[in-house]
A = this chain, B = another copy of it.
Amino acid sequence: MSVTDFEQRRNSILEAVIEVYVTTASPVGSELISRKLRESLSPATIRNIMVELEEAGFLEQPHTSAGRVPTDRGYRYYINSLMEAMRLSTDESGRLGEAVQLLQQLEADAYFHRVSDMLSEMSGQAAFVMAPTIKRTTVKQIELVPVSARKLLCVLVGQETLVVSHVVETEEPLSREEVAALAHFLNAELVGLPTQEWLVSLERRLLAVNDSLYYLVKRSLHLLQIVLATEPEERLFIEGIFNLFTAPEARREPQKVQQLLYYLDSPELLRELIREDLAREGTHVRIGQELGVEGVDEWSYVLSPFRHHHAIVGGVGVLGPKRMDYRRARALTEHVAQLVSTTMARWEAGA
């Protein structure tokens, strides 16, 4: 028997262990695997291979007389090398498509919220959507509305039905004409430029400007600094937290859920991880400790990016117990991400 045959056998047994464990949530014994592989190998042989897998760090035993459970490393190997893509049933993908079709009439925030809801429901896990804000897209129009002597409502109309408005107190009172001039300047100068570059561009401008424009640039800077400061880079919609309780491990160890919820209570850390993942192409999976928080090691997420103009602008994810159906989760997030990408394009075309 060649080396690759060995490899292959080890792999298929690891795969079988994971797949059984995912559905049963209790340690998997050699006999179960033997039966699952249609008796092609006896339990004793399976046990020998399991020892190898344990030595390689892919499996572990909760205690001597228990079956085996995948380690984080086992899941990782399974996901990277063994797991095949799964197609959603035409029924499911049809329903998803129709649902998203309906949702895209909503405003951006409500849309992302509901998409998150939907993903949570379809996966039976918690779900999240990392949605772009005005800071990640370009602005189509800037409007200034005086609301009192020294207060301006600054409205940024973005792509994709995104609208951001903010009341800003100006440094000095501005006349109607001054406001109009300022609005004109902002539109001429900044529309089309990525929001990220606005401040840098204006600051550069400030150095090389003649007197007549100086105040315009100065005021623009002041205004936009305030507007952009309060606007986050992206919005995170987490839904279906309740589903985290339904897993058997949650019932066995409620503190684990508690720790996760504590973690989610201030979602900055999670945000940071997602941001990091979205910097690179493709679907990402974080397993157990890879979530990077002491004590939160029983959970995983699967995250797929969605795009606008081929650039990644956000992502959708499923968050559940480490012991989750990664195949299905990946199929779902990728499909939903695809649908969201389509929505982004349609929003732009429609607006």
Contact = CB atoms under 8 A, between A and B. Distances in A.
Interface in A103-128: 106-107, 110
A140 interface: yes
Contacts of A251: 254
Contact of A157 (B140, B147, B258): B147
Contacts of A6: none
Nearest to A120: B265
A110 B242 CA distance: 25
Interface stretch (A24-32, A62-70, A163-171): A163-171
Contact of A167 (B148, B161, B257): B161
Nearest to A165: B163
B157 A163 contact: no
Nearest to A143: B145
A153 interface: yes
Contacts of A257: 254
Interface string A242-262: 100100000100100110011
Contacts of A107: 166-167, 230
Contacts of A163: 153, 165-167
A238 to B, nearest CB: 11
**SS of A interface (majority):** mixed
Interface string A137-181: 000110101011001010101000101011100000000000000
A331 interface: no
Contacts of A321: none
Contacts of A147: 140-141, 157, 351
A162 to B, nearest CB: 9
A43 B19 CA distance: 61
A49 interface: no
Contacts of A223: none
A305 interface: no
Contacts of A141: 145, 147
Given A151-B351, A153-B155, A242-B262, 20 more contacts: A107-B167, A110-B230, A140-B147, A141-B145, A143-B145, A147-B351, A153-B163, A155-B155, A155-B165, A157-B167, A161-B167, A163-B165, A167-B351, A240-B265, A241-B261, A241-B265, A242-B258, A245-B254, A245-B262, A254-B254
Interface of A: 106-107, 110, 140-141, 143, 145, 147-148, 151, 153, 155, 157, 161, 163, 165-167, 230, 240-242, 245, 251, 254, 257-258, 261-262, 265, 351
